[in-house]
Structure 1
Amino acid sequence: MTVSKSTEDITEIDKRHIVHPWADFATAPSQGDLVISRGEGYHVYDSDGKKYLDGIAGMWCVNVGYGNREIAQAIAHQAEEMPYYTPFGAMTNPHAAELAKVLAELTPGDLNRVHFTNSGSTAVDSAVRFIHFYFNALGQPEKQVIISRTDSYHGSTYLTASLSGKAVDRTYFKYMTDIVHHVSGPNLFRRNKALSEDEYRQQLVDEFEQKILEVGPEKVACFIAEPIMGSGGVLIPPPGYHKAMKQVCEKYNILYILDEVVTAFGRLGEFFSAEAVWEIVPDIIVCAKGITSGYQPLGATIISDALFDQISGSNAPKDAYFTNGYTYSGHPVACAAALKNIEIIKRDKLCEHVKDVGPYFIEQLKTLERFDIIGEIRGNHLMACVECNISGNKTAAQEEDMATALIVDQFCDKAGLIIRPYEALLILSPPLIIDREGIDKLVSILAQSIERATEVVAEKYTLQAKCI
């Protein structure tokens, strides 16, 4: 079916019929949306033909860029050969089996058991369900509590939304509070500056251990963490943080879930960052997004042999059916897309490319700290955040900081750059194929937009002296 309606027609249909993720219901019935109709490389085009540099890779995920014919052909071929068959019980398909093998080879340690899902949310949900199943099978049903962190994001199922710790995302929904607890997430920008980074790390670790003791170690099943907290503001932990948190988990027999939905498949210059960047081997890794570069929906929960072997085979309890999974788990078309995507990342040396251009990206962005409305610019390779801070308040973002971020975003949009505003944050995660020329263009547009926003907010707010 060919869609050939005008932009006005599309936006009217959209307003009438689509309920968008994270829609503002106060404006949703009347506000039109940007209609993105095609993409090429690290650019996308709207339905009127306007070209935008995609500074967010769709949603952290279009790692190999838009218009990749090889992936499109792999999808088409598999759809013709066999579009779908049930993954339940003892059924499988060649592409799911091969992808599981490839993921096992790419992940560290003994993370060799793959449970396929539809998304990052369902991958996290499945990881927690596996852990509950695991402790129940071992005769420890009291170990149910999951500890997560403030400013985290782990998904939008009932369980994963409850795990997520972004305060602004908690609105009129119901959240689980009996088995979900939160501790402070690392935020070096907002920390007490009297503390060194090492002291701050220890403060976070001590808080985590105290929470375990408060709840009771016999009740805590797992801790979940993003390596870098993505949509919470690209919050990078102090050195040694993940190793120290893992050591606390090991002390109290608590399992460690590393949520690599954003960071895996090259965004930090590695297929998986767990061991290569953070020097840990978690008990479970969850991934999605970059696994197919967004060409198909797919997620995976990757479990260690050490866990799986304790509750399977001769060690399995009576009637040990793992009744968790999805109609589209291991979908052959999605798995074909993932295999081709991984092949391209390896062949085109995209991880090496990210290691080359990533530091340049952060270095160029850092030059924007010269503007008075910017509080901090932080990032790691092709994952960055520009935090607006005209209020001078280092404890929490203020209304004027959030308004400033939206104004910068509006100027970027007009100039042909898509970024992701969230509260006082401007989040950036371009496709991994971006080159220095693209980075220079992105930073140039962002600089011009910040400069224009500075003029606008100066009339409305009193700019505070920078103190970084």
Structure 2
Amino acid sequence: MNAVDVNLDADLQALGKRHLLMHFTHADAYRDHALTVFDRGEGCWLVDRNGKRYFDGLAGLYCVQVGYSHGAEIGDAIREQMVRLPFATNWGVGHEPAIRLAHKLAALAPEGLNRVFFTSSGSESNESAIKLVRQYHQSRGEPQRRKFIARRVAYHGTSFGALALNGMTNFRKHFEPLMSGVRHVGNTKRYGRPAGETEAQFTRHLLDEIESLIVQEGPDTVAAIVVEPLQNAGGSLTPPAGYAAGLRDICDRHGVLLVADEVICGFGRLGEYFGSARYGLKPDIITFAKGIASGYVPLGGVIASDAVVDTVLDGPQQMFLHGATYGGHPVACTAALANLAIMEREGVLENVRSNEAVFRQTLDGLLELPCVGDVRGDGYHYSLELVTDKAARRWAAGISAQAFVSTLLAPAIFDAGLLCRAGVDHEGTPIVQFSPPLVMSRDEIVWFVAQIRDILVDTYARATR
């Protein structure tokens, strides 16, 4: 396996290490090591300043749906908009790109979700949804409905409201106290559940926990349940049959809103424009970001039902008490419209649907390895859960999962020129996650998984010898 290339651009190395504060990056990862500096991209590939190629198995950060080859087309659209109208707000005025994009999203969203509020990121989208939910209940004369229910291990962003929704205590604890009134329930991870439990029993267990919590907290105090259609954190956790319908039923009976965080699931990741459609989830509000513009520009937003928005606009304030300078920026909306046009023209969703079975079957082939305990996911979003004891479905305490991932597995994947997420979950279990550009071909799938297989065989053998 090749060693990590040392970036030859000494000036960029020095400037980057001196001035660029990395996101969620341990200081040791770049303080005493070469900083990889990407220079260009094409298709599913990135190239660093040395010319080393990396296959992007994570679509940047779950966002580069159309790959890296459409910068010229999207750039031309952006350039034309920059010349015509480089900036305008949605504060009491409108502009054509935001109006056209809002109309497009209403057409793509689940039935009844017709009102679009634009933001610049996923965290900001979830923060906006929190405020919309709160104001909805206030407008209905139920200001005591302030509590939110989210799932354990789920990730919903980094701003204070979104961070409070996060189901990972290690993310929250350093910044507490956060927004109060958030409760967490079990997620949809089935691997490791009691032997003999049926899918129907698992669904019932999850729904009973949610309903019991609502009753315990007081139904008239609960504002919303927030879920991802497929939960990213914890490793591509898909919902069991009946779960989506059960959530809707619980919300309807208790006057609770259902919010679908589609920041990762949206725009083709699961073979549908919104992951809610994949699983029959019927939310009152959807949040989105990432894939709407394939990450080429920052853009996010909230899509809400007419019932929710009309209640707010007909309420005492007669407005949604929220706004952002760059929300619905004309250049960002133009980029999103161009991106969606590319997705339609090139059949990106059809590519996901036609290759999904091959992707899953090829990954399932890794289950024959002694270290792969579970493969889960849908569409173009999958995770491997690694184990040392298949019978017990766990990673044994005798081998440090963190050391295995940080000193063996993750470096080997990166050295091989592959980009994916390798980490340790809240239970101390190694998870390897794949969420590639949606233009990844069938041949690339087979090749990519073969590389991962070789790396797993090699690193696991070294860890257990």
Range class of TM-score, shorter chain: over 0.9
Residue 358 of structure 1: aligned partner: 356
Higher mean displacement: 192-201 or 19-28: 19-28
Q: TM-score, normalised by structure 1?
A: 0.92
CA distance in 2, matches of 1:391, 1:7: 45
CA drift of 1:178 comes to: 2.5
Give the aligned partner of residue 315 of structure 2.
Answer: 316
Instruction: Report what 2:449 is aligned to.
Output: 443
Structure-1 separation of matches of 2:196 and 2:301: 41
Q: Unaligned regions of 5+ residues in structure 2, if any?
A: 1-6, 425-429
Distance 1:177 1:104 in 2: 30
Q: CA deviation at 1:19?
A: 1.9
Deviating more after overlay: 397-406 vs 110-119:
397-406
What residue number does 2:47 align with?
45
The equivalent position to 1:72 in structure 2, one of 71, 75, 82, is 75
3-state SS in 1 of match to 2:39: strand
Q: How do residues 230-245 of structure 1 correspond to structure 2 at under 5 angstroms? A: 230-245=232-247
- In 2, Cα distance between equivalents of 1:391 and 1:75: 53
351-360 or 400-409, which moves further after superposition?
A: 400-409
- RMSD (Å), alpha carbons: 1.8
Q: Retained in 2: the 8 A contact 1:119–1:299? A: yes
Which residue does 1:141 correspond to in 2?
Answer: 143
Q: SS where residue 444 of structure 1 aligns?
A: helix
Query: What CA deviation, in whole Å up to 9, does each residue of 1:44-97 have, x standing for no partner?
Result: 111111011110000000000102021121122212222112322x11111001
Query: Corresponding residue for 2:434?
Result: 428
Query: Which residue does the alignment assign to 1:169?
Result: 171
Q: Distance in 1 between matches of 2:194 and 2:318?
A: 49
Match of 1:463 in 2: none
Alpha-carbon separation, structure 2, partners of 1:368 and 1:168: 31
Matched, 1:332 2:366: no
Q: Could you give the per-residue CA deviations for residues 256-276 of structure 1, whole angstroms, max 9, x where no partner exists?
A: 0011111111111111121x3
Q: CA deviation at 1:320?
A: 3.2
How much does 1:206 deviate? 0.5
Q: Relative to structure 1, is the Cα distance of residues 184 and 104 closer, same or farther in structure 2, using a 3 angstrom cutoff? A: same
Give the CA deviation at 1:327.
0.9
Does the 8 A contact of 1:147 with 1:222 survive in 2?
A: yes
Post-superposition offset of 1:15: 2.0
2:22 corresponds to which letter in structure 1? H
Q: Is the 8 A contact 2:383 2:433 kept in 1?
A: yes
Pair 1:209–1:155, CA change in 2 (3 A): same
Aligned-pair identity in percent equals 34
> Over residues 231-281 of structure 1, what are the superposed CA-to-partner deviations in whole Å (9 max), with x where a residue is unaligned?
33111121121111121111100000011111111111111121x322232
| Partner deviation per Cα, 1:436-458 (whole Å, 9 max, x = no partner) | 11111211110111111022111
Report the equivalent of 2:414: 413
Amino acid at match of 1:437: D
Q: What SS is found at the alignment partner of 1:311?
A: helix
CA contact (8 A) 1:240 1:278 kept: no
1:82 matched to which residue of 2? 85
Instruction: Report which stretch shifted further, 405-414 or 124-133.
Output: 405-414
Q: Which residue of 2 aligns with 1:264?
A: 266
Measure how far apart 1:168 and its partner are.
4.0
Q: Which amino acid aligns with 2:401?
A: D
Given residue 239 of structure 2, which amino acid in structure 1 is its aligned partner? P
Shift, 1:198, TM fit: 1.2
**1:177: how far off?**
5.8
Q: Write the distance in 1 (CA, Å) between the matches of 2:170 and 2:374.
A: 21
* 1:444 partner letter: A
Q: Residue 187 of structure 2 corresponds to which residue in structure 1?
A: 185
Closer/same/farther in 2, CA of residues 63 and 188 from structure 1, 3 Å limit: same
Q: Which range moves more in the overlay, 227-236 or 164-173?
A: 164-173
Structure-2 separation of matches of 1:115 and 1:76: 24
Once the two structures are TM-superposed, the CA of residue 375 in structure 1 deviates from its matched residue by 1.5
How many angstroms does 1:10 deviate by? 2.1
| Contiguous gaps of at least 5 residues in structure 1 | 460-468
Match for residue 383 of structure 1 among 381, 384, 387: 381
The alignment status of 1:112 with 2:114, answered yes or no, reads yes
Q: In 2, Cα distance between the equivalents of 1:209 and 1:426? A: 33
Matching residue's letter, 1:305? D
Alpha-carbon distance in structure 1 between the residues aligned to 2:200 and 2:259: 23
CA drift at 1:23: 2.2
For 2:436 and 2:239, the matched residues in 1 are separated by 22
- Alpha-carbon contact 2:224-2:259 (below 8 Å) kept: yes
Q: Residue by residue, what CA displacement relative to the aligned partner does 1:371-413 show, whole Å, maximum 9, x if unpaired?
A: 1111111120210001111255546885633433342222121
Q: CA deviation at 1:134?
A: 1.0
Query: Any conservation in 1 of the 2:312–2:319 contact (CA below 8 Å)?
Result: no
CA contact (8 A) 1:391 1:400 kept: no
Other structure's SS at 2:46 match: strand
SS of corresponding position for 1:405 = helix
